[in-house]
Amino acid sequence: MRPLIDAIRSDTPAVVLQTVTNPTGTFVAESDIAELIAAAGPETMFILDECHECVGPERLRGACRADPRVIRINSLSKSYSVPGLKIGWILASTAFIAEFYEYASTSYGGPPSFFYTLVEVAARLERTLLLDIDCAFRDLLDVEGVAVFPGILTYCLGGDWVRITTARDPIMLAESLRRLASFLQT
């Protein structure tokens, strides 16, 4: 963090920072985030990518993340171990959210029904976890260490369907399929 903190200037427009790095799981200390924000000018925006904070032990987040210049982003694909799930959220000041909503809804927004469908899928995943319902893609990841694309994300809502890809190295794919078969035989 020291080179980044030392390089920031009062006219730096934006900083994007992964608070926990992928793939190592190394986290940025809250004191470093606070120092970085304090070193910047009043117009500098900070985008904190918190998507990997679900990895490792839970940590307390500092008050610096409530700064009105901070935009925090997160994703369900990491916390639910669901590759391909493109649902996330942002936390930011009321002013930023209002401006972002106006831009998004007029520039690239889609019909509300699409978003309602995404919320329904997220709610079903949450219900599965809360009620401890058998969830094949999570069980497969836990037991065999193989990630698959859950059928629920392609609206296969009845049963434990998963999708696999063949767009992988043949050796890796063979090992994954062997583990998948082993999982299905248990």
Q: How many residues does the chain have?
A: 186
Q: What residues pair up with 9 in beta bridges, in sequence order? A: none
Domains of the chain with CATH codes: 2-109 (3.40.640.10), 115-185 (no CATH)
The model's pTM is 0.60
Are β-strands 70-75 and 88-91 bridged in parallel, bridged antiparallel, or unpaired? antiparallel
What DSSP letter does each residue of 28-89 carry, written as one string? --HHHHHHHHHHS-TT-EEEEE-TTTTSSS--PPPGGGGSTTEEEEEEHHHHTT-TT---EE
CB distance 78 to 51 below 8 Å: yes
pLDDT of residue 4: 94
- pLDDT tens-place string over residues 53-86: 877 777 889 999 999 999 999 987 777 766 666 7
Residues in Cβ contact with 92 at an 8 Å cutoff, skipping those fewer than 6 apart: 70, 71, 72, 100
Q: What is the pLDDT of residues 128-156, one digit of tens each?
A: 777 776 676 677 777 778 877 777 666 66
Using only C-alpha atoms, what is the Rg of the chain?
20
